[in-house]
């Protein structure tokens, strides 16, 4: 999965070593792995890249973002099916209805 880190780093004129120093990584080899998508940055490093380059994570790591998005949507669809087939009653039925409503609102917001 390609990243856009290299593009943003080169556009800034910074070296991998400079980026590593700025975002407090041990060395430039970590930046290289993140740019080539052979290693995933920690959450803190990913946020640091976002702040440094003023670009959202979805733009910096589009492949990772898309993979996670697909997995989330699949899990929500599975959850929706389970909730719709649930024989719950009383308070539990209300909680299920609330979750289903949220899933539908979330889906409508995407369209």
pLDDT at residue 1 in the model: 61
Examine the domain organization and report whether 56 and 69 are in the same domain: no
Could you say which residues of the chain have pLDDT below 70? 1
> Do residues 10 and 52 share a domain?
yes
Do residues 56 and 11 share a domain? yes
**Could you tell me if 43 and 69 lie in one domain?**
no
Q: What share of the chain is helix, strand, coil (3-state, %, to 5)?
A: 75, 0, 25
Check whether residue 43 and residue 77 sit in a common domain. no
- Computed over every residue of the chain, the mean pLDDT equals 93
The predicted model scores a pTM of 0.80
How many folded domains does the chain comprise? Answer: 2
- Residue 70 and residue 52 share a domain: no
Q: Which residues contact 23 (CB under 8 A, 6 or more apart)?
A: 45, 48, 49, 52
Q: What is the predicted pLDDT for the residue at 3? A: 87
d(CA 19, CA 91): 52
For residues 56 and 78, state if they share a domain: no
Domain that holds residue 97: 65-109
69, 99: one domain:
yes
């Amino acid at each position: 999965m390609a990243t856009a880190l290299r593009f943003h780093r080169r556009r800034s004129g910074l070296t991998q070593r400079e980026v590593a120093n700025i975002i407090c990584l041990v060395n430039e080899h970590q930046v290289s792995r993140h740019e080539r998508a052979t290693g995933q940055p920690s959450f803190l490093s990913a946020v640091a890249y976002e702040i440094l380059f003023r670009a959202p994570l979805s733009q910096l790591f589009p492949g990772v973002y898309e993979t996670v998005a697909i997995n989330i949507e699949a899990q929500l669809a599975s959850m929706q099916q389970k909730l719709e087939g649930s024989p719950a009653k009383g308070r539990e039925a209300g909680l299920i209805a609330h979750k289903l409503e949220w899933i539908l609102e979330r889906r409508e917001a995407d369209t």
